């Protein structure tokens, strides 16, 4: 055993397994479980998108594309970003099609980080952020956010974390797990810090189309930020295409060229059939996006009001499809709460600490499940909280 350990990278071994999977594995062995844990749309991929994938297969589109991806798809993405956010990218040199946003994040970290470079990451955050920085040889520097601030990171908190080794800031808004959306004012304040300290920004905006009663501000569209931003986007959430594994990165040509180099040697190209499906999503998917967003909004209002009525205090999420309530009323920590709720009432949630230290005392509840299921889950949670508070 000791000999085997000597062959393992200490950098990789130092990263714990994802805190999400454990509860899914337990839930899979039980009957009658309502899962509020999975961050995946319960909708199936819209029919025109599926049909585009089928037709691509029938045409024999089963070969490699260019390393950067289909030019037609990259052009459509450039038009999409320009139309929504007024941000212009050259599809030939500034857009790269990836295997989901997860690969895009890996490429960004690998392309820009040297050993010891620091990346500031607001938390709670998606579970992959800090590990990807570590895997690339960088040092994640976690900056906590608070429910009292709507889970929005402040420029002051970022500034305090900057050192001479700071290379970049990794932002994930709309946020998983809190559902927070950054205001334009706060993003402009962060942009000033970025300029002052000559930093890069990796901006994960996967949930950009799933915002409610507010606007999504695309970070590179802010004054002076295009040249300092690696934008990560994808099709998984808004178009219900998680299993297609298709995402993209947009960045200035010099930075994107380095990402493409890593992609070229690691992946070759994103799945060809999925690229044709993504093209159909941009051309024909908008009515489905609007329909799904309206339904998520309906569920959002149900789960937030329900959690607050139960006594699980929850700030209103303005994006994605997650609520992040406090479980302080129960006197339990987040792990005990999640375990006992699953065992006693067969409702699966994710402990907030899976998303960083700032998530302690909270749990993530996904409302990407049927309205009726959420109603039943709230009834079960009410019984649980009444019993233990």
Set out the domains of the chain in order of their start, with CATH numbers.
Answer: 2-45+287-388 (3.90.1150.10), 47-284 (3.40.640.10)
| Full-model pTM | 0.94
Determine the Cα–Cα distance for residues 217 and 221; give it in Å rounded to an integer: 8
Please state, in angstroms and as integers, the Cα–Cα distance from residue 148 to each residue in 133, 316, 326, following that order: 28, 11, 12
Q: Whole-angstrom Cα distance, residue 169 to residue 266?
A: 25
Q: State the greatest distance between any 2 C-alpha atoms of the chain, in Å, as a whole number.
A: 61
Distance from C-alpha of 31 to C-alpha of 16, rounded to nearest angstrom = 29
Is the backbone of residue 268 left (phi > 0), alpha (psi -120 to 50) or beta? left
Beta strands in 235-305 (DSSP E): 247-250
* Closest C-alpha among 210, 213, 262, 208 to residue 231: 208
How far apart (Å, rounded) are the C-alpha atoms in residues 223 and 154? 18
Beta-carbon neighbour count of residue 3 at 10 Å?
6
Cα atoms in the Cβ-side hemisphere of radius 13 Å centred on 63: 3
Nearest to 64 by CA among 281, 263, 285: 263
Q: What are phi and psi of 290, to 5 degrees?
A: -65, -40
User: pLDDT truncated to tens, each residue of the chain (389 aa)?
Assistant: 455 557 888 888 888 877 666 666 766 777 789 999 888 899 999 999 999 999 999 999 999 999 999 999 999 999 999 999 999 999 999 999 999 999 999 999 999 999 999 999 999 999 999 999 999 999 999 999 999 999 999 999 999 999 999 999 999 999 999 999 999 999 999 999 999 999 999 999 999 999 999 999 999 999 999 999 999 999 999 999 999 999 999 999 999 999 999 999 999 999 999 999 999 999 999 999 999 999 999 999 999 999 999 999 999 999 999 999 999 999 999 999 999 999 999 999 999 999 999 999 999 999 999 999 999 999 999 999 999 98
Q: Is 258 helix (H, G, I), strand (E, B) or coil?
A: helix
């Amino acid at each position: 055993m000791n000999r085997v350990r000597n062959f393992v990278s200490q950098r990789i071994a130092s990263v714990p397994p994802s805190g999400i999977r454990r509860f899914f594995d337990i839930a899979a062995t039980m009957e009658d479980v309502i899962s509020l844990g999975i961050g995946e749309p319960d909708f199936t991929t819209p029919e025109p998108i599926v049909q585009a994938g089928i037709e691509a297969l029938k045409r024999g589109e089963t070969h490699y594309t260019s390393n950067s991806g289909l030019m037609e798809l990259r052009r459509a993405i450039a038009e999409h970003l320009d139309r929504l956010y007024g941000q212009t990218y050259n599809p030939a040199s500034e857009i790269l099609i990836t295997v989901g946003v997860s690969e895009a994040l890996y490429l960004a970290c690998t392309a820009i980080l040297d050993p010891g470079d620091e990346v500031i990451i607001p938390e709670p955050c998606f579970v992959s952020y800090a590990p990807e920085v570590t895997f690339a040889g960088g040092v994640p520097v976690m900056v906590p956010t608070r429910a009292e601030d709507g889970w929005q990171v402040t420029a002051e908190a970022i500034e305090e974390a900057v050192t001479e080794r700071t290379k970049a800031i990794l932002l994930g808004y709309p946020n998983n797990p809190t559902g927070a959306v950054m205001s334009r004012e706060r993003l402009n304040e962060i942009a000033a810090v970025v300029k002052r300290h000559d930093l890069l920004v990796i901006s994960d905006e996967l949930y950009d189309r799933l915002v409610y009663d507010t606007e999504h501000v695309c970070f590179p569209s802010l004054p002076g930020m295009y040249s300092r931003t690696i934008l990560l986007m994808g099709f998984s959430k808004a178009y219900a295409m998680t299993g297609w594994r298709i995402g993209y990165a947009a960045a200035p040509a010099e930075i994107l060229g380095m990402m493409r180099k890593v992609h070229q040697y690691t992946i070759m190209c994103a799945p060809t059939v999925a690229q044709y499906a993504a093209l159909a999503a941009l051309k024909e998917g908008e009515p489905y996006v609007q329909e799904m967003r309206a339904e998520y909004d309906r569920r959002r209002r149900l789960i937030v009001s329900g959690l607050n009525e139960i006594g699980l205090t929850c700030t209103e999420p303005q994006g994605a499809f997650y609520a992040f309530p406090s479980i302080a009323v129960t006197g339990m920590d987040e792990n005990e709460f999640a375990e006992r709720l699953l065992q006693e009432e067969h409702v699966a949630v994710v402990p907030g600490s899976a998303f960083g230290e700032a998530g302690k005392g909270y749990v993530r509840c996904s409302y990407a499940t049927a309205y009726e299921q959420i109603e039943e889950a709230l009834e079960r949670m009410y019984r649980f909280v009444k019993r233990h508070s």
